[in-house]
Amino acid sequence: MELFQELQWRGLIDNVTSPEVEDVINNQKITFYIGTDPTADSLHIGHYSSLLMAKRLEKHGHHPIMLVGGATGFIGDPKATGERQMLTKETLEHNFNCLHDQIKKIWGFEMVNNLDWTKNMSVIDFLRDYGKLFNVTYMLNKETVKKRLETGISYTEFSYMILQSLDFLHLYQEKNCVMQIGGQDQWGNITSGLELIRKKCGANTKCYGLTMPLITKADGSKFGKSESGTVWLDAEKTSPYELYQFLFNTEDAKVVEYLKKLTFLSVEEIQKLDKATQEEPHKRMAQRALAEEVVRDLHGQEGLDSALSITNALFRGNLNDLSEQQRRDAMKNMEKVDCENGLILEDVLVKCSIASSKREAREWINGNSISINGEKIKDTHFVVDKENAYVDNYVIVRRGKKRYYCLNLQ
């Protein structure tokens, strides 16, 4: 299977600007770029597929350039739902530096910043040299702009299309970059860049665009910074354990899609895991493979080992086997409950809605079903206070084999 066909099989091709893209990817060695704006200080799981796409092409001999938009970040790519909040110069600079370091550390790609070739451009030069080449009717017909016409769109965001088009032109002229790759929501920006290149460099200039389907959850919503429960690629924001648990809990209906898009597992390996999901879904072999591959790729074997240590400790109830940092990571996914300091265990279980009544609380305690910080407690009058703290003022209650509660003693 050639590379382009494998990308199709993995569901990574949404649209291409020319049938020639297939031959270019399979048989040539080109420079291409993928861009992101520094609207946060870390990439998230929604970006991960694009970064792996760059890696897949690099393995085939193509040269990736990662563009972090220090200039376009000031403007804001138009959203279908409304205007973006403007970020300060200090915030954008901080975010840019964080993204630059993150991408270099994990993937080692060549990095560029579009602020470098736009910061000294005058408004007159921008309008004469580039604005004159964009027809407003053409711009209004772009999908995202269309969606905003009823609610309104600022000139600032309307001009984003022109500003991003300059990126493609600049990289083509300076680095012989002939392809831009982006999410399917970037189709309008990519085709605008191609139009600008042809108008400035000649109608027969060979440049291309490729879009990828957005990674979505089972309910169809996309992963992004504006969505709740963002899964970050930065270990300080989303720990390897949290990432592992997020991926391990992937629905059966989505796990094979994620294996195709988010891992380098071979066609044969994924087909085998697909079969296992259909025949023995309770074993969650595909979910385990997905979680291990992604965590190892992002955080190394050490990060995966830590995630597995926490997972195993929680499964067995051996909480005291964990380091302090692992304890903090383990607590992040637990249900948090504020609790009065110094109550007896029987009252704690009722007041924190762990048990529905004192009778039920006593039954669980006497039945050896309640643990405090990994230790079985059989005394209904055991005092839960800050001296029992697992980390800081937190006490971990385990009910049965799977339910954990993190009590914040007040």
> For residues 170 and 175, what is the distance between their CA atoms, to the nearest angstrom?
8
> For residues 287 and 277, what is the distance between their CA atoms, to the nearest angstrom?
9
User: Residue 213, exposed/middle/buried by CB under 10 A (0-12, 13-18, 19+)?
Assistant: middle
Report whether 64 contacts 109 (CB < 8 A): yes
> For residues 56 and 212, what is the distance between their CA atoms, to the nearest angstrom?
14
Q: Is 113 helix (H, G, I), strand (E, B) or coil?
A: strand
Is 164 assigned to a binding site?
yes
Is 130 assigned to a binding site?
no
| DSSP annotation of 224 | -
> For residues 368 and 345, what is the distance between their CA atoms, to the nearest angstrom?
13
Amino acid symbol at 145: V
Question: How does DSSP assign 179-241, residue by residue?
Answer: EEEEEGGGHHHHHHHHHHHHHHH-TT---EEEEEPPPB-TTSPBP-TTSTT--BSSTTTS-HH
Total Cβ atoms within 10 A of residue 101: 12
Is 390 assigned to a binding site?
no
Is 260 assigned to a binding site?
no
Q: Which two tokens stand for residue 190?
A: 């990519």
Task: Give bridge partners of residue 403 from the DSSP assignment.
Answer: 399
> For residues 317 and 104, what is the distance between their CA atoms, to the nearest angstrom?
38
Report whether 131 contacts 68 (CB < 8 A): no
Burial call 288-303: b when 16+ CB within 10 Å, e when fewer: bbbbbbbbbbbbeeeb
Helix (H) or strand (E) holding 63: strand 63-68
Binding-site members are 33, 160, 164, 225
Binding-site members for L-tyrosine are 33, 160, 164
Binding-site members for ATP are 225
